[in-house]
Chain A
Amino acid sequence: MAMTMTQKILASHAGLESVTAGQLIEANLDLTLANDITGPVAIREMEKAGFDKVFDRNKVTLVMDHFAPNKDIKSAEQCLTCRNFAGKHEVVNFFDVGQMGIEHALLPEKGLVGPGELIIGADSHTCTYGALGAFSTGVGSTDLAAGMATGKAWFKVPSAIKFNLTGSLPKYVSGKDVILHIIGLIGVDGALYRSMEFTGDGVASLSMDDRFTICNMAIEAGAKNGIFPVDEKTMEYIEGRVNRPVTKYEADPDAVYDETYDIDLSALRPTVACPHLPENTKTIDELGKIEIQQAVIGSCTNGRIQDMREAAAILKGKKVQKNVRTIVIPATQEIYLQCIREGLAEIFVEAGAILSTPTCGPCLGGHMGILAHGERAVSTTNRNFVGRMGHVSSEIYLASPAVAAASAITGYITDPADVAE
């Protein structure tokens, strides 16, 4: 029976020759992930149920990134719970302030996730690692507790939607525009329970950072996972990071897909998702004049070095509007250092933006950039739900780093080409 790429990874981790869509399986995990929000719940549930060991101290990861550096006493207590758990179980990959970064940028960077692997994380954006040709998906804290204790999880084998990518992206159009375009096309439940498999000649032209962004937001279409084939760029990325054998899975040529969409990358325009759903997309040309009071450039979606470079290229030698609070958040310490070494940090600060330590912070309305009533932000994050970044009457427009940077300069949501020299 022909299988999709996702189905092959699931079959191999379940010890089965083949699987079919709809089948319930139990699969072995290569890695589990929790953060300072979901970790404490998982730890409590695990201990309450009487599990006193983790399945493998090398394969359990905990990243303190959401409300860290601790925003208040309650958040500090949550990190403490995770820290104590990590200490007790001698968890190797516990990332605290100083080593931590935003989890979905950090784990690939540290080589903790690789092609062909199976990862669950108690964070919905765990689907990011599909960019490396892995199967990864978000789960709740109880699933994660079971995963940490047993090294296994149950899955319903998903069917898949194929996205056949052709061409290459025009200037000022990036992975963010690709995924926003797709979510606009299929809706926030367009891929519910299913895989999004990206394939076609256009894949080769996409950078790894573009692919991470695209897979990151697969959940925003309801998908179980998003996945890219493994190619030269993947292997180049993992070189020196992943020091263990990896398996490259490919979809069978006759694999069955529920639907196929052809996406011509060269025809895409900068795309923005309007409040209050990621599916409410418009191209920059259709948007009209939307004034903003804040611009956020960062998050697990767009806090990688390419994002920093694209934003800096727009901001170089310019000033952000005085009434636009511009917050730039490199996703990891390594990216933060790169920003300093490449002179991007100076560009941001001279432009009137702030450069924050890695944190999820404002993306989920935690800290470091909360919106007041009626305020509007352009943000490179992933969700524009009611109240997501602050007051229930505030509004979030999701966009790429280039659009967010251009908008910070003009004070309204702007096509990067209009401010570039």
Chain B
Amino acid sequence: MKARGSVFKYGDNVDTDVIIPARYLNIADPVELATHCMEDIDTEFVKNVKKGDIMVATKNFGCGSSREHAPQVIRDNGISCVIASSFARIFYRSSINIGLPIMESEEAANAISAGDEVEVDFDTGIITDITTGEQFQAAAFPPFLQNIIRAGGLLKSLKEREG
């Protein structure tokens, strides 16, 4: 499976408070919630994002609050993959659990620029910057996590096991 899109680029320590500010966490409707994604650091994001686009950031992406609303609004805005040098651990788990594809690659995160056209091959972990022609190899997921991803999230994988 592959994803391809243009890149929204952010820096270090993008926290879940800026991904989705707490003042919106009383909103139960996912569509309304998603309209506030990234607004405290990038008011243009929701205006410009297209289905399939890719988010790239450097270290410790998704730090802070455990709010699952954060990976949820990124996914619901059509982002096909988040690439970062490193992820905060709760965000990492939650992304896998809810089916938001993520990739860890410091080289890719540093080299890719905003607006680049990028392709991600989920089977091989190869990230290609179409704009510059550069290629990067992301870290592979352990088989245990691959099972969750393949099942379409944690709860589906648990149900599969039950059945």
Cβ of B6 < 8 Å from any Cβ of A?
no
B28 near A124 with CB under 8 A, answer no
Determine how close the nearest CB of chain A comes to the CB of B73; give it in whole angstroms.
12
Interface centre among B69, B89, B153 (most CB of A within 10 A): B89
The answer to whether A387 and B90 touch (CB under 8 A), given A49-B155, A142-B97, A189-B63, is no
A78 near B41 with CB under 8 A, answer no
B28 near A383 with CB under 8 A, answer no
A contact residues around B86 at 8 Å (CB): 189, 192
B97 near A140 with CB under 8 A, answer yes
B94 near A189 with CB under 8 A, answer no
A contact residues around B69 at 8 Å (CB): 41
B contact residues around A140 at 8 Å (CB): 66-68, 71, 90-91, 93-94, 97-98
B contact residues around A41 at 8 Å (CB): 68-69, 72
The answer to whether A141 and B21 touch (CB under 8 A), given A46-B155, A49-B155, A150-B158, is no
A contact residues around B140 at 8 Å (CB): none
B26 near A72 with CB under 8 A, answer yes
Per the CB 8 Å criterion, the residue count for chain A at the interface is 52
Q: How many A-B residue pairs have CB under 8 A?
A: 132
B89 near A224 with CB under 8 A, answer yes
A contact residues around B93 at 8 Å (CB): 139-140, 143
With both beta carbons as reference points, the residue of chain A lying nearest to B158 in the complex is identified as: A146
B contact residues around A49 at 8 Å (CB): 155-156, 158-159
Cβ of A386 < 8 Å from any Cβ of B?
yes
B27 near A74 with CB under 8 A, answer yes
B29-51 with Cβ < 8 A to chain A: 40-41
With both beta carbons as reference points, the residue of chain B lying nearest to A46 in the complex is identified as: B155
Cβ of B142 < 8 Å from any Cβ of A?
yes
A contact residues around B1 at 8 Å (CB): none
A142 near B98 with CB under 8 A, answer yes
Cβ of B154 < 8 Å from any Cβ of A?
yes
Chain-A contact segment, one of B12-20, B75-83, B108-116, B122-130: B12-20
Cβ of A75 < 8 Å from any Cβ of B?
yes
B66 near A138 with CB under 8 A, answer yes
Q: How far is the CA of A37 from the CA of B71 in the complex (A)?
A: 15
**Beyond the given A192-B89, A222-B89, could you list 10 further A-B residue pairs with CB under 8 A, ordered by the A residue number?**
A37-B67, A75-B26, A78-B28, A124-B66, A140-B94, A189-B86, A364-B17, A383-B17, A387-B21, A392-B40
Chain A interface (Cβ < 8 Å from any Cβ of B)? 24, 37-38, 40-41, 45-46, 48-51, 66-67, 71-72, 74-75, 77-78, 81, 122-124, 126, 138-143, 145-146, 149-150, 154, 188-189, 192-193, 219, 222, 224, 277, 364-366, 383, 385-388, 392
